[in-house]
Chains A and B, each alone.
Chain A
């Protein structure tokens, strides 16, 4: 590509005389038409639904699975910009495939410890006062490979089970109050309309404070893979509590201990006990550029950029080390910083061409500082499969290749 551009530039630079020579000469190599300074034909007409450039190939990472309906796909975080994940690249984790739901017949049932069991159509929900909030959703199994010293080789594999969207919908509080919350109610059970009727219990307190029944994602209807037509959003809580294809909310006195909050999504400790209802996703950050699998094309200026997020509030600080953790520099946070949302951080850098390791760490508004691997294992042991938020490193070799740095 480079040599072709160089040829074209020199051709154009020599002007009309060279042009005449080219025409006269007509050697096979020179027959390829030069790219004109201005397009000589019209482009494509307007269209009803836009498509990205055919040159753009960013795609979710999908691994072969015997059961692709109960599998996950990963966001290519190295190929997204800013803080919003394009809806088509939002990670997926399904337990029984993506149902096709007609919004005209879908309903949300609210019952249990309520004064009046209620049914809401999607149109009903859209009549009610709405909010739009930017929040990440992260599978609690995200970064599971980072429990190992080696870590995953690319940022999609290491952190791609997290994505961030602007969600629009009705505060769950409004729907619960339409039904009348009884005083004994302390928990809610949320159920999806997928084939396995995916369920999770959540506290009523969280539901009332921050729960959203969302129908919008990034300015349009939620994608089917993300829960069309309705999805529960519990900001900052483990991904699977954000129940997709939401069809039922039951108010209860206690949690239901469903399969996915007992056999799965619990944290086993070294002594054999397990933490249950580990809802909040702790603060985490990762450098997305440069990151594993992308070479750095020689020494010189290079912006280091990454994402930080916390399920406990706003990110207040992101730091980057360009010397394997000996020194740390404060990265600039993209503003506004939203609570429980991706926060983009950036740091200008001059790479001198010698081998080094880049690290990032972040702090949230509770004062919590993202831990290193040893510190995390000291707190949790090695039997916990979920909630790995340790510091991630990328090694840049002298030849510019980038790989996961062993810690």
Chain B
């Protein structure tokens, strides 16, 4: 008796299982691979999604001069908008100075944000080569790559940012 009720419970669970799984409605349409590729600009911290292309700080200095300096200042400081150059020691001062060099944990983030959101008034207009170059220039100003280092999808994720280990999950 006990065995058979266990068995029937098992049967009920087995029968109920499909309804516990996700119900789908057949609404929406499959997205094509091209459609996804065109929009998937996400670049994670490992940089696997980085595009082809490359640039050096030397190239980037020219891009920066024309497209970035007006807002971010000469050599990444002193502009009306975010300072781009600093070191983690500046996080301890009051008020703290949060910059690419002092605060950002991943170099890939700099590429991602620059590519999709900069320059402020003309976002998305820099080529992949230009983004690699200006990323290299900003990292160079922070002393993290040399002037002739070539940044591309292989080398950029290997740049270790000074504050990489500075973040902890919210303990609240």
Contacts and interface: CB of A to CB of B under 8 A. Distances in A.
A254 B169 contact: no
Interface of A: 66-67, 70, 95-96, 109-111, 116-121, 124, 127-129, 174-175, 177-178, 180-181, 189, 191, 195-197, 199, 247-248, 250, 252, 254, 256-259, 262-263, 266-268, 271-280, 282, 382-383
Contacts of B168: 273-276
Contacts of A272: 88, 91-92, 166
A118 B22 CA distance: 16
A271 B124 CA distance: 37
Interface centre among A250, A254, A258, A276 (most CB of B within 10 A): A258
Nearest to B122: A195
Contacts of B27: 120, 124, 127-128, 178
A111 B112 CA distance: 19
A258 B113 CA distance: 7
B22 A256 contact: no
B166 A96 contact: no
Given A127-B27, A274-B167, A383 B94 contact: yes
B41 A197 contact: yes
16 contacts: A117-B31, A118-B28, A118-B29, A118-B30, A119-B28, A121-B28, A180-B22, A180-B24, A197-B124, A250-B42, A256-B45, A258-B113, A259-B113, A262-B109, A274-B103, A275-B169
B95 A119 contact: no
A277 B124 CA distance: 26
Contacts of B45: 254, 256-257
Given A178-B25, A178-B28, A382-B94, A196 B117 contact: yes
Nearest to B89: A272
B167 A276 contact: yes
Contacts of B95: 383
Contacts of A252: 42, 44
A180 B23 CA distance: 10
A109 B31 contact: yes
Contacts of A119: 28-31, 35
Given A111-B40, A119-B29, A181 B22 contact: yes
Given A118-B30, A191-B42, A256-B43, 20 more contacts: A118-B31, A120-B28, A178-B24, A189-B42, A197-B116, A199-B42, A250-B42, A259-B113, A263-B98, A263-B104, A263-B109, A272-B88, A272-B92, A273-B166, A274-B166, A274-B167, A274-B168, A275-B168, A276-B170, A383-B91
Interface in B30-88: 30-31, 33, 35-36, 39-45, 80-81, 88
B123 interface: yes
Nearest to A174: B25
B169 A277 contact: yes
Contact of B36 (A111, A120, A175, A273): A111
A262 B112 contact: no
